Structure 1
Amino acid sequence: MQDPITNAKRAAGEKAASFIRPGMIVGLGTGSTAYWAIQKIGALVKDGLDIQAIATSEASAALARELKIPLTTFAETQRLDIDIDGADEVSENLDVIKGGGGALLREKIVAYHSKQLIIIADEHKYVPTLGRFPLAVEVIPFGWEATGSKLQSLGCRPLLRAKGEEIFITDNGNYIIDCSFGTIKEPQLINDALHNIPGVVETGLFVQMADKVVLGYEDGTTEVREK
């Protein structure tokens, strides 16, 4: 029997997959909630759904290949019809923090080039104001110490992400500095300020990018919120 949180994640992922139509180019997100969406998409493909997909991480690409979901690349198409991805936090304004899984750069590229971004999350990720969850900021390794110092000047507590005893390395060969702000009342201003720091590649703030948010509840029901 699934635990209640997993049940909520699965419900959200499967509901989001219901928005996919034949012939679409689909963005495959990364993380524990996106996993369930990819599983459902794989089942739909097995039943005859004709789509192509672009994955936001090596892990999601491997899962897609395992499920026989046809993958394509930006060399073959520059526009996706729909992107389904998870979140670490979703605000009442539908602003989003992502990056807990370390795939924020590819996730934002895929989201930006999609006609529709559907964010999926369990009910506990829905918050009045962003910031309780540390904001992931992807930085180049060169000079990361200086970059981190500048991040701190914006009012956060920066922490270089580790994986065991080693520095965490993204699929793009970069580092991640997790920035604890406590609250982020003006995400666009913070996002702009972060991008003004040389060495910052991308942030986990997805400001007004989500078209739909599918919330999954522990009883297996879902709720769709739109802009």
Structure 2
Amino acid sequence: MTQELSPIDKAKFVAARRSVDYIEDGMRVGLGTGSTAAWMVRCLGERMREEGLRITGVPTSSRTADLARKMGIKVVSLDEAKWLDVTIDGADEFDGDLNLIKGGGGALLQEKIVATASDRMVVITDSAKEVKTLGAFPLPLEVIPFGWQTTRALIEETLVNMDVLGREVSLRMNDDVPYMTDEGNYILDLHLRRIGNPRQLSLVVNQVPGIVENGLFIDIADVVVIGHGDGAVEVRDLADGSVREGHVDVDESTNIFTDI
């Protein structure tokens, strides 16, 4: 390990470590994308090595697929798996009803398809991602490149009638060229500051020609695992309303940290 984990990385790690307890032998598992999901993939690989756990993974991005294979996880497509037992993924924001904003890592389309093809979605995150009202984090929209400027203009017009505080729309860039998703699409980020009615906004923006999908995950997440920098973990289950607290020890000498 090249350096000691920061408190935020420890929070992500302990949430990830706790989340893999939901995975049982023989399961088909959706593997999310992003920094917290990467910890989860590492923790899952560790369980497989130490316990002989056998699972099949369906990654939500090429980055996750590469890491999963490196960890020794069998990777298949969603078409091959057909349906999943659980998907574990991060979030950029979540509210008290477990509505999410996702897509900061640029994989929202595949993430939403995989999550909705699962019996259960477990969200792994740190406490800083919890908000009273969604919208501080820019809302990503995946759009086709053809006519994207027209699509942006239509979105800006649509936002006039939405319950939001801001209406700035920007094209996500990768250095000096547009960021491109695994599906060959662009991402427009909506700087809304506050989303008064996420369900309505999700339905309305998806009617704009050129938009493939938006980063609002409504009624998809079932459980949120919240990590803290001191190793504390809180698990909230939407189905039964339960809140469970625990603690995960962070042993930075373990193999999971060797190439960090």
The answer, yes or no, to whether TM exceeds 0.5 is: yes
Indicate the residue corresponding to 1:42 in structure 2: 45
Deviating 4+ runs (over 4 angstroms): none
Q: Which moved more, 1:168-177 or 1:146-155?
A: 146-155
Indicate the residue corresponding to 2:193 in structure 1: 182
Larger Cα Rg: Structure 1 or Structure 2?
2
Measure the CA separation in 1 of the matches of 2:35 and 2:196: 27
Contact 2:135 2:194 in 1 (8 A): yes
1:149 corresponds, among 150, 153, 163, to 153
Indicate the residue corresponding to 2:106 in structure 1: 102
1:16 corresponds, among 13, 16, 19, to 19
Match of 2:155, SS state, is helix
Displacement of 1:70: 0.6
Match of 2:79, SS state, is coil
Displacement of 1:208: 1.6
Measure the CA separation in 2 of the matches of 1:16 and 1:24: 14
Displacement of 1:92: 1.2
1:135 aligns with 2:139: yes
Measure the CA separation in 2 of the matches of 1:75 and 1:197: 28
With the length of structure 1 as denominator, give the TM-score of the two structures. Answer: 0.98
1:214 aligns with 2:235: no
With the length of structure 2 as denominator, give the TM-score of the two structures. Answer: 0.86
Measure the CA separation in 1 of the matches of 2:133 and 2:231: 25
Match of 2:54, SS state, is coil
Measure the CA separation in 2 of the matches of 1:57 and 1:196: 25
Q: How does 1:162-201 map to 2 (within 5 A)?
A: 162-201=173-212
1:59 aligns with 2:80: no
Measure the CA separation in 1 of the matches of 2:177 and 2:16: 32
Q: Which moved more, 1:42-51 or 1:58-67?
A: 42-51
Indicate the residue corresponding to 1:78 in structure 2: 82
Indicate the residue corresponding to 1:161 in structure 2: 172
2:93 corresponds, among 85, 89, 98, to 89
Indicate the residue corresponding to 2:163 in structure 1: none
Match of 1:33, SS state, is helix
Contact 2:78 2:114 in 1 (8 A): no
**Residue deviations 1:124-173 (CA, integer Å, cap 9, x gap):** 00111100000000000001001111111214210000011111000000
**Residue deviations 1:166-215 (CA, integer Å, cap 9, x gap):** 11000000000000111012111000011110100001000121000111
**Residue deviations 1:35-68 (CA, integer Å, cap 9, x gap):** 1100000111112101101000000000001111
Letter in 1 for 2:170: L
Contact 2:85 2:119 in 1 (8 A): yes
Tell me the C-alpha RMSD between the 2 structures. Answer: 0.8
Which runs of 5 or more structure 2 residues have no equivalent in the other structure?
161-166, 239-260
The number of residues matched between the two structures is 227
Displacement of 1:77: 2.1
**Residue deviations 1:7-59 (CA, integer Å, cap 9, x gap):** 00001111111110001000000001001100000111112101101000000
Displacement of 1:220: 1.1
Letter in 2 for 1:32: S
Match of 2:35, SS state, is coil
Percent identical among aligned pairs is 44
Letter in 2 for 1:103: A
Indicate the residue corresponding to 2:34 in structure 1: 31
Measure the CA separation in 2 of the matches of 1:30 and 1:74: 15
